[in-house]
Amino acid sequence: MASEFDLIEQYFTRRPRHAELGVGDDAAIVRSSPDHELVISTDLLVEGTHFFSDVEPESLGWKVLAVNLSDMAAMGATPRWATLGCVLCPGLGDGDPPAPTGAPSSSGSWLEQFSRGFFACADHYDVDLIGGDTTRGRSGATTFSVTIIGEVPHGVALLRGGAQVGDDIWVSGTPGRAALGLAHLQSRTELNGAHLAHCLTALQRPTPRIELGLALRKVATSAIDISDGLLADLGHLLKASGASAKLQIAGLPDAGLARDAYLSGGDDYELLFTSPPALASEIVALGQSLELPLQRIGAVCHGQPGTLSVFDQHAANITPKRRGFDHFS
Amino acid sequence: MASEFDLIEQYFTRRPRHAELGVGDDAAIVRSSPDHELVISTDLLVEGTHFFSDVEPESLGWKVLAVNLSDMAAMGATPRWATLGCVLCPGLGDGDPPAPTGAPSSSGSWLEQFSRGFFACADHYDVDLIGGDTTRGRSGATTFSVTIIGEVPHGVALLRGGAQVGDDIWVSGTPGRAALGLAHLQSRTELNGAHLAHCLTALQRPTPRIELGLALRKVATSAIDISDGLLADLGHLLKASGASAKLQIAGLPDAGLARDAYLSGGDDYELLFTSPPALASEIVALGQSLELPLQRIGAVCHGQPGTLSVFDQHAANITPKRRGFDHFS
């Protein structure tokens, strides 16, 4: 088996574009921009909990970074630097499975494909991989840990706690797609055509809403990504803001898996944000310029902090009991 | 089982002293000092590879942070902020084992004890825990990932690549203690008295040499910590510096476990550094002021980059074949 140092050198050492010193010393060195704050987040992706052992490694490499970039988007920050910790385990990520006959595009070792996806995401969002650690673990326990560091001008970061009573509540894209894609892969539902493709892309190669986050600095009072599910993350935002909310969502699917996925499906990387009603037309225009649907789904109101109610098109209360995804529940 | 959010709130949420925003939003926000560079490092600690399931949790909490602080020491950086990723697994880190009768000092849940050790180290070195992630994993695969961020004035960080031919090579403390402590626990040797205590402390509650690293900015040409073992890390330093080295170490133990541990034992967090011979008396004085032994163990010389030779007190070449510890070998 290749040594730890060989693996790092072979797959993860690239000359950084925005760092004084990258992979290869005891630590990396970077210089932050004047008059900016640093925005820092860490996420874990664990085999069996966040991905399966038969996951396509290039997509996983993309996703491992993308879910962290989503946290930068939710803060209105520009992502700059990342570190990557890899616990590689027998059966996944430690060998060179033979390429399927006639499938040269999937050739190369698991780790090579993983790193290709990781750097595709890093390049797309202009992020430098500046360090990390690689070690071996037990079968079935492959784990990735990414820390992302971004920058935001002093005092303009988007926080969870800024929502005001009367604000509109908005969400980007179509929540629930990742959960539906997972349900399809687990044969709990059957999707097809473009809808299937959208749901699998949302699950396997999510798009962090970096551009949206940067644009929201000027118009949003609060923001969060909905990686724990729309209602759960809205609950976190409302609790931090000391407010309640009423939701009435045009086009919300009828009761069943699709509605549950929309309201409570985890693993979505859309942004949920609040904004004064006077800015609604600006937000509609922003969605058009980004070619990203932005939908008003409700309003912030007085009430017990963190609580919320969901109404259907007939104004009947349909608030579900289970709000979202918790690895420990 | 407690939810992910409860665990974070209960054990890992403390008001940061040096951050604009700590745990609890999509990301943390910090402000770096003017005219300083950021120094960033990530380390993984994995059950079965870096610690055993019966490890004392308070010591492990200390060590998880301390090994990262050691990277800051090796760069001459002041540690400031840390993030912590925890993959908690059945059998360790996810339950509340009953406290042994008559041992109230070890009461409290595993995670509570772990966090106590982590914060003891954080407080001692004035580091803020500003974020992280907690998730569940498979039995036997408990994993911790720490990213540490420090600061150093522009241009004065200690790098691996600065050693000059003719420089002295120095090491702090007594290398090999952690490996000997581990050998004792595994019944491969039997230590006792103060020596046993020193070795177990080195293994379980290592001291990152932060003060030494800060002082070395003025006198060292290069530095590295010896977490992979003295010879392996000296090899990394020499390779980066394009030089070779000859070692002759006063007091090196005779052939056997003690010598192997000194030269090749991993998990030591002493610093190895190089410095011009003219500064030798300053370094001796520095060791006295820090009450930390600093020993000259050799010199940098011309030769194939990364190579080195070790001689005993009779000038016989005793260079061992195996240099250090590699999780993948």
Q: Is the pLDDT reported for residue B104 higher than 80?
A: no
Quick check: is A49 in a domain?
Answer: yes
State yes or no: pLDDT of A48 exceeds 70. Answer: yes
Q: What strands lie across the sheet with B271-275, from one edge to the other?
A: B222-225, B271-275, B168-172, B294-301, B244-248, B308-311
- Total domain count, chain B: 2
Q: Higher confidence at residue B262 or residue B2?
A: B262
Highest mean pLDDT among A3-12, A272-281, B87-96, B306-315: A272-281
Q: Which residues of B touch A149 (CB under 8 A)?
A: 38, 40, 149
Domain span at residue B198 reads: 160-311
Domain co-membership, B168 together with B127: no
**A77 neighbors A151 (Cβ within 8 angstroms):** yes
Q: Do A40 and B157 touch (CB under 8 A)?
A: no
Instruction: Read off the pLDDT of each residue in B302-314 and give the average, rounded to a whole number.
Output: 93
Where would I find the beta strands (DSSP E) of B154-293?
Answer: 168-172, 222-225, 244-248, 271-275
Query: From CA B178, how far away is CA B199, in angstroms rounded?
Result: 5
| Interface contact flag, B31 A157, Cβ < 8 Å | no
Q: Is the dihedral of CA A275, A278, A284, A285 positive or negative?
A: negative
- CB proximity A209 to B under 8 Å: no
- Would you say residue B236 lies in a domain? yes
Q: Chain B contact for A72, CB < 8 A? A: yes
pLDDT for res A108: 57
| A191 pLDDT higher than 60 | yes
Residue A328 is nearest to which of B1, B32, B38, comparing CB atoms? B1
Q: Do A30 and B42 touch (CB under 8 A)?
A: no
Domain identity same for B121 and B167: no
The reply to whether A322 falls in a domain is no
Same domain for A172 and A147: no
**Angle between helices B110-124 and B4-12 in degrees, nearest 10:** 40
**How far B113 CA lies from chain A's nearest CA (Å)?**
20
d(CA A43, CA A145) in angstroms, rounded, equals: 6
Q: Say which CATH number the domain at B198 has.
A: 3.90.650.10
Q: Residue B103's pLDDT is what?
A: 38
Residue B323 lies in a domain: no
Chain position carrying tokens 């961020």: B149
pLDDT of residue B313: 84
Q: Is B10 on the interface with A (CB under 8 A)?
A: no
Residue B143 and residue A137: Cβ atoms within 8 Å? yes
A68 φ/ψ angles, rounded to the nearest 5 degrees: -75, -40
| Least reliable range by pLDDT among A81-85, B89-93, B181-185 | B89-93
Both B132 and B189 in one domain: the answer is no
Residue A13 and residue A83 in one domain: yes
Give the pLDDT band of residue B5 (cuts 50, 70, 90).
Answer: low
pLDDT, position B96: 44
Q: How confident is the model at residue A138 (pLDDT cuts 50, 70, 90)?
A: confident
How far apart are the CA of A183 and the nearest CA of chain B, in angstroms? 21
pLDDT-derived band at B54 (thresholds 50, 70, 90) equals: confident
Name the residue among A120, A171, A130 with its Cα closest to residue A150.
A130
Interface test with A, best of B5, B26, B129, B228 (most A CBs within 10 A): B26
Q: Let me know whether A198 and A298 are in one domain.
A: yes
Same domain, B171 and B290: yes
Q: What is the pLDDT of residue A95?
A: 47
**What distances in angstroms separate CA A319 from CA A229, A307, B169, one per listed residue?**
14, 10, 68
Out of B135, B223, B329, whose CB is closest to A44?
Answer: B135
Tell me: the pLDDT tens digits for A96-116?
444 444 333 334 588 889 999
Total-model pTM = 0.88
pLDDT reading at B272 higher than 50: yes
CATH of the domain at B55: 3.30.1330.10
- Report if residue A329 sits inside a domain: no
Does residue B76 sit in the same domain as residue B127? Answer: yes
Any idea what the Cα angle at residue A15 is, between residues A12 and A20, rounded to 5°?
115
Q: How far is B273 from chain A (nearest CA, A)?
A: 13
Q: Mark which of B113, B136, B153 sits at the end of a domain.
A: B153
User: Considering CB atoms only, which of B40, B75, B81 is closest to A130?
Assistant: B40
A294 and A165 within one domain: yes
Contacts of B153 in chain A (CB under 8 A): none
Last residue of a domain, which of B92, B124, B153? Answer: B153
Q: What is the per-residue pLDDT across B227-249, written as a single tens digit (0 to 9) for each?
A: 999 999 999 999 999 999 999 99
Q: Which residues contact A289 (CB under 8 A, 6 or more apart)?
A: none
Residue of B nearest to A159 (CA): B25
Nearest Cα of chain A lies from the Cα of B314 at a distance, in angstroms, of 34
Look at residue A27 and give its three-state secondary structure.
coil
The count of other CB atoms within 10 Å of the CB of residue A142 is 27
A195 belongs to a structural domain: yes
The span from the CA of B260 to the CA of B253, in Å, is 9
Residue A98 is classified by DSSP as P
Q: Which residue of B has its CA nearest to A73?
A: B26
Same domain (yes/no): A64, A101: yes
The ipTM assigned to this model is 0.85
Residue A136 falls within a domain, yes or no? yes
For residues A17 and A311, give the distance between their C-alpha atoms in angstroms, rounded to a whole number: 49
Q: How many CB atoms lie within 10 A of CB A233?
A: 27
* Residue B51, φ and ψ in degrees, nearest 5: -155, 160
Phi-psi region of B274 (alpha: psi -120 to 50; beta: other; left: phi over 0): beta
A42 with A125, same domain: the answer is yes
Which among A71, A81, A133 has the least Cβ separation from residue B44? A133
Residues A129 and A210 in one domain: no
pLDDT surpassing 80 at residue B47:
yes
CB of B232 closer than 8 Å to CB of B324: yes
| Domain end position, chosen among B126, B153, B180 | B153
Exposure of A276 in the CB half-sphere (CA atoms within 13 A)? 4
